[in-house]
Structures are given as C-alpha cells and as structure tokens.
Amino acid sequence: MQDYNIFKNLKINFPSQFVLHVELNRPAKLNAFDKISWQELHACFKQISLDSDVRAVLISGAGKLFNAGIDLNNLNEINNDTKEKDLARRALHTRKELLVAQDSISSIEQCDKPVIAAIHNGCIGAGIDLITACDIRYCSEDAFFSVKEVDLGLAADVGTLQRLPKIVGNNSLVRELCLTGRNFSSTEALNIGLVNKVLSTKEETLTEALKTANIIASKSPIATLSTKHLLNFSRDHSVTEGLIYTAAWNSAMLNSNDLMEAFDATMGRRKPKFSKL
C-alpha cells in the first residue's frame, strides 16, 4: 500500500476501489504552482504509476479555481537574476528549473494509469500545461481557460505549445489562443475539443469524472495501461511505426490472464475480476 499522506500541496483520497483522486490543494493561492507543487506533482504521479491499487486517476483543484498557473512569486527564483554568477551558470540554473517543471507535467502523461481532469472556474497558464497532459478533460460551465504566458512576456514552456495543437489541431485558432492569451469559455473549449463534456457545477463535473474513472477501473489494467501507452506512442509516430510497435507490445500483453477472464465473463454474463498488476 503506497502512502499518499506525505504531500503538502496535494490532497489524495480513494473515492472508490482502484480510483485515486488527486486534488491540487493550495486554495489560498488559487492552487498556483510553487516549487513544492512541481516536486510533489512529479513524485505523486511516479508513485501512482507503481501503485497496483490504482487503475484510474481524477485530478481537480480545491477551492475557488482549478489552477491560477505558476506562482508569480517564484518567477525570480527561476530567473536566478543574480550578478554573482556568469550568464552561462544562470542559464543552466534556469534550464534546470524548467526541466523540473516539464518533468512534473510530463509525469501525468507518462503515468501508466489514465488521468481525468475535472476543471472548474479558472485554468490559467501552467493549468493548461497540466490539463493537456491528462487523458480526458471535463469542465463545469463556469470554467474559463487562458494560455496566459504571453501576457507575462514569455512563451509557454512546460507542454502547452507541444500538446495543445495535438489535441485541438495546429491551426489558426490555437495560434490565436496562444498568441493573445485571451480567456476562452467552457463552450469554446468544448467546441474546439479541449474538453469533451461540460457539466453545470464543479460537483457534477467531479461526479461525471468519477463515473468515467470507475468504468476505466473496471477494465483489465493491462488493457487500459496498454491503450494509453499505445495512443501516446501512435500520436508521436507515423501509422506504420505505431502498428509495428503495437504488434511488438501486444505480442507480450496478449499473454495476460485478463483475456481469458474477459472472454469468460462475457460468455457467463458476469462482471470480470482482474488481478492486480
């Protein structure tokens, strides 16, 4: 059994069997990402990957907003604007900080278990980096989104510019959103395919996300892990490369007991029971 009571800025619970809920929990600062948040998010998702008691994950924000982006008080730390070090050393420091933040967000995409974001109210800057690394996104009607970095004088650097175009298309609209930083609504997010469901309230969004997580958690963990892994691989490779890789991957995974259990349960009209990974 993994221990999740070790995080300061994340609140973790199991709302149902095999489903883990990660709540961004810095509500007084609208869940803005400080140094601890980057480190904890990374550690948490690495832990989830290894946890055989988890088959699906929900991520949401505590309090008024889903996420207000990077903690603006931390920008100086990243810049390390000190005259004591030469330019190269300062650049290496900044690069290291950026890689920490990138790895933190990427740990969600690389997590073996499917991750569902339940977004309410604001999702700003680093919040968009986070949700674009998730597998499924639902939001409440009051949600608004902003690729805000351009307003702070920088290009988004921890995933939005790489992942958002792969979700909504590398088109004129995505460039408008990233170049203007303008707010866009839950309706627009639905229309462009950034989210696939809009619910009336935060509570309904969480309930709907949990319903989907429960369905995923009822499947073979080998099948869901493989599906996520192969979708990610195929997104970043040609169809031919994806098919070759899938054949190699499934030549091992088709040996799981889960196939027989799933066939047997279907024929016997009963719920399948899959053993832990």
Ligand X SMILES: CC/C=C\C=C\CC(=O)SCCNC(=O)CCNC(=O)[C@H](O)C(C)(C)COP(=O)(O)OP(=O)(O)OC[C@H]1O[C@@H](n2cnc3c(N)ncnc32)[C@H](O)[C@@H]1OP(=O)(O)O
Find the binder of ligand X among 68, 116, 130, 161 (CB under 6 A).
68
29 touches ligand X (CB under 6 A): yes
- Piece of the chain touching ligand X by CB under 6 A; list 72-80, 132-140, 207-215, 225-233: 72-80
CB nearer to ligand X: pick between 28 and 267 = 28
Query: Which residue number, 44 or 158, has a Cβ lying nearer to ligand X?
Result: 158
Considering the complex, state which of residue 7 and residue 145 has its C-beta at the smaller distance from ligand X: 145
Kindly state the tokens that stand for 89. Answer: 């050393």
- H helices of the chain, where? 35-50, 75-79, 87-110, 126-132, 160-168, 172-180, 186-192, 202-217, 221-235, 239-253, 258-267
Q: Which of 20, 124, 199, 225 is the binder for ligand X (CB under 6 A)? A: 124
Task: Name the residue with the smallest CB distance to ligand X.
Answer: 125
Output 10 or 210, the one with its CB closest to ligand X: 10
The CA distance from 12 to 6, in Å, is 10
User: According to the binding rule CB under 6 A, does residue 182 interact with ligand X?
Assistant: no
Minimum CB distance to ligand X smaller for 152 or for 244: 152
Q: In what order do the strands lie in the sheet with 144-146?
A: 122-124, 144-146, 184-185
157 neighbors 163 (Cβ within 8 angstroms)? no
Nearest to 207 by CA among 30, 53, 16, 9: 16
DSSP class of residue 197 equals E
Q: Which of residues 225-254 bind ligand X (CB under 6 A)?
A: none
Binding residue (CB under 6 A) for ligand X from 122, 137, 186, 217: 122
Reported as half-sphere exposure (CB side, CA atoms, 13 A), residue 200 has a value of 0
Binding range to ligand X, per CB under 6 A, among 48-56, 70-78, 205-213, 231-239:
70-78
Closest approach, Cβ 87 to ligand X, in A, equals 19
> Would you say 261 and 223 are in contact if contact means Cβ atoms under 8 Å apart?
no
Q: Rule CB under 6 A: is residue 54 a binding residue for ligand X?
A: no
Indicate which single residue of 10, 118, 158, 161 sits in contact with ligand X (rule: CB under 6 A).
Answer: 158
Interaction between residue 135 and ligand X (CB under 6 A):
no
Residues in a beta bridge with 136: 116
Q: Which stretch binds ligand X (CB under 6 A): 46-54, 95-103, 200-208, 220-228?
A: 95-103
Determine whether 213 is exposed, middle or buried from the number of CB atoms within 10 Å of its CB (0-12, 13-18, 19+): buried
Relative orientation angle of helices 87-110 and 35-50, to the nearest 10 degrees: 40
Residue 255 C-beta: closest distance to ligand X, Å: 42
Distance from C-alpha of 152 to C-alpha of 90, rounded to nearest angstrom: 20
Q: Which residues bind ligand X (CB under 6 A)?
A: 29-30, 32, 65, 68-73, 78, 97-98, 101, 122, 124-126, 148-149, 152, 157-158
